[in-house]
Amino acid sequence: MLKKNNLLQEIKRNFIKFNQEKKNIDTLKKLVLLKIKYIGKKNKLSNYLKKLKIFSVKDKKKFFILINYIKKIIKRELIILQKKISLDVYNIQQEKYIDVSLPGRVTNSGSIHPITNTIYIIESFFTKLGFQITSGPEIENKYYNFDSLNIPFDHPSRNEQDTFWFDKNNLLRTQTSSVQIRFMEQNKPPIKIIAPGKVYRNDFDSTHTPMFHQVEGLVIDKNISFSNLKWLMYSFIEYFFDFNVSIRFRNSYFPFTLPSAEIDIKQNNKWIEILGCGLVHVNVLKTVNINPKKYSGLAFGIGVERITMLKYGIKDLRSFFDNDLNLIKQFK
């Protein structure tokens, strides 16, 4: 019959044997075999547990605690050994395969998209003049997108062929002018804001996309005149294109400004339209409860893609949305 002392000595001998065998483990394969031998499903320590059925409850408890304690020590030693072997293997591989004389690997860095860069330039110019940057929802209702901006009910921009409607009242905004109305409703003059953001129109070709970017500008104060507008537009265009450019104002029509104008710049002996502007229409001021006898205002709308194409000589508007890295990398 198995005696308690004999079992205790046998457990100790196996633990000593484990400590001897682990000294010779230098590969992960040998480590796995050692692990199976001592803490695997049919390990020696588990076999000892089966022999405890002949002992008293008190002795069973003592041996059970001892065996589990030894198993924990073995598991801990195996983890330490595994980390050491893995590190040794890694160091050997490093010494074997890395040639320190070779040049380092180049890590590609990202770059700012040209549209984003243009918006940054526009914001930089106007914030230096005290303009506040504001924004509004891209899903707009017809009141803010059309009615409050003095746009007639029969205006072509209200048609489904030009505008993305969700229902009879809600649409994807066609201009960021709606932001100006929202801002004027909640703020009293003097007002100086720009509203950059995405706008949507149902058109797609080399010079139009269904989604593009606009920066609307608005100034409301006493004695604002067309001279203020001209100075502001001349200053911005020269700042943005970074050189003296030939500029002309042409009469135009926008429902929310009167008088209205479009601005062209001369490039390669051709006049090219870049933005629209004008003095804020009296009806628009009345809509937001601003007294037109006391205050006047100027407004402008800059097509971001248009001026970016002109600045960098890009011919196809769709290039901005093709994810062509050869184009994007030029704007680091």
Domain ranges of the chain: 4-97, 114-331
> Helix, strand, coil proportions of the chain in percent (round to 5)?
50, 20, 30
Task: Name the residue type at position 145.
Answer: N
- CB–CB of 261/251 below 8 Å? yes
Say if residues 77 and 20 touch (Cβ distance below 8 Å). no
Give CA separation, 171 vs 134, 146, 164, in Å. 20, 11, 6
**pLDDT of 171 above 50:** yes
* Weakest mean pLDDT among 81-85, 87-91, 249-253: 87-91
- In tens, the pLDDT along 260-290 reads 999 998 877 888 888 999 999 999 999 999 9
Q: Which amino acid is at 265?
A: I
Residue range 232-260, pLDDT digits in tens = 999 999 999 877 778 899 999 999 999 99
Neighbours of 274 (CB within 10 A): 22
Q: What is the pLDDT of residue 252?
A: 92
Percent of the chain with pLDDT over 70: 86
For residues 323 and 326, give the distance between their C-alpha atoms in angstroms, rounded to a whole number.
Answer: 9
Pair type for strands 170-172 and 191-200? unpaired
Q: Is the pLDDT of residue 119 over 70?
A: yes
- Return the sign of the alpha-carbon dihedral for residues 184, 188, 194, 197: negative
Q: 299 to each of 42, 283, 294, how far by Cα in Å?
A: 84, 14, 17
How much is the pLDDT for 1?
Answer: 45
Distance in angstroms (rounded) separating the CA atoms of residues 250 and 270 = 15
pLDDT of residue 272: 84
Position 87 scores a pLDDT of 64
DSSP 140: E
Averaged pLDDT score across all residues of the chain: 83
Q: What is the pLDDT of residue 294?
A: 95
Beta strand 191-200 pairing with 132-133: parallel
Give me the sheet containing 191-200, strands edge to edge. 132-133, 191-200, 211-221, 296-303, 270-280, 257-267, 247-254
pLDDT value at residue 269: 83
Evaluate whether 214 touches 177 at the Cβ level (below 8 Å): no
- Closest CA relative to residue 303, chosen from 217, 178, 183: 217
Residue 156 predicted with pLDDT over 80? no
Residues 121 and 113: their CA atoms lie apart, in Å, by 12
Residue with tokens 């001279």, as numbered in its chain? 227
pLDDT band for 206, please (50, 70, 90 cuts): low
Checking if the pLDDT of 216 tops 70, the result is yes
**261, β-bridge pairs:** 251, 277
- pLDDT for residue 2 is more than 60: no
Q: What is the pLDDT of residues 20-75, one digit of tens each?
A: 887 887 777 787 787 777 777 666 666 666 666 667 777 777 777 777 787 788 88
pLDDT band at 99 (very low <50, low <70, confident <90, very high): low
**Secondary structure class of 76 (helix, strand, coil):** helix
Report which DSSP code applies to 201: -
Average pLDDT over residues 134-154: 90
Q: Give the Cα separation of 287 and 185 in Å (integer).
A: 9
The CATH code of domain 114-331 reads 3.30.930.10
